Amino acid sequence: MGTLYLVRHGQASFGADDYDRLSDLGRRQSLRLGQYLRQRFGDRLAFDTVLTGTLRRQIHTWEALAEGAGLTTPRTPWPGLNEYDSHAVLEAIHPEPLPRPDTPELYRHHFRLLREGLAAWMEGRVAPRGMPSYADFVRGVTGALDHVREHSGGNALIVSSGGPIATAVGQVLGTAAETTIELNLRIRNTSITEFAFTPKRHMLVTYNTLPHLDGAEFDDWITYA
C-alpha cells in the first residue's frame, strides 16, 4: 500500500490582475511545508512520483517545498491538475464585469456567484469560455490518480489547486456535486490531503490539514485564496 499526498499551492494573488503567482507569504508557506516534511520524516522522506499542474503557482509551490525539504525528485507536469478558470466560470453566469473583491461584502458576493457558476458548469448548464467540460476536467484529475497507482509503490506527491484536489476527494468518496464545491472552497493554502492507495483504488486518510502551521506563531499564515 502506498501513500499519496495532495498539496494545494501556497497563497496566490487573489484580486490582482495576475492571480497565478505566489505571494511572499505563499512562498514562505511552501518553504515551511518542506521544512516540516524533512523534520517529520528525516532520511525516510522520498517520493517515487511527483506530479504538478502546469500553472506557475503550482510549480513554484513545489520548488519552494523541495527547497525546504532538500528534495531533488524530478517533477512530472500534468495539465489535468490545473485549476478551472474562475473568471470564465463567473462570466458564464454573470457576463457584466464584477468589481474587485476588496471588501468583505464583495468577497462574499464573489464566492456566492462562484458557487452558482461551479454548479452550473458541473451540471452542464453552462460551458465557460476556454474551459473543458466538467467530465473532461474530472478525467484529467482521475488520470493523475491512475498514474500514481500504476507508477508508484511507496510515497507520491501531487501539487495542485483546490478544484482538482476537491474533485479527487469527491471521486474517492462518491460525493454529490454540491459537496465537492464546498470541499473546494474550504481547502487552505499548502494544506495536505492524504490518500492511501493500492493498485486498485485510493482511500481518503486525512483532508485539508496544516501540521506545518501548528503553533501560535503561524496563526496569520493560514489563508484560503
**How far is it, in rounded angstroms, from Cα 45 to Cα 138?**
30
Residue 157 neighbours by CB distance under 10 Å? 25
C-alpha triplet 166, 45, 24: angle, nearest 5°: 60
Q: Write out pLDDT tens, residues 2-21.
A: 999 999 999 997 655 567 89
Q: What is the pLDDT of residue 13?
A: 78
pLDDT tier at 170, thresholds 50, 70, 90: very high
Instruction: State mean pLDDT over 140-150.
Output: 97
Q: Write out pLDDT tens, residues 50-63.
A: 999 999 999 999 99
Which of 146, 118, 124 is CA-nearest to residue 202?
Answer: 146
Task: Tell me which of 154 and 16 has the higher pLDDT.
Answer: 154
Q: What is the pLDDT of residue 99?
A: 84
Max CA separation in the chain (angstroms) = 54
Q: Write out pLDDT tens, residues 63-115.
A: 999 999 999 999 999 999 999 999 999 999 999 888 888 888 988 998 999 99
Long-range Cβ contacts of 100-105 (<8 Å, 24+ apart): 100/15, 101/14, 101/15, 102/15
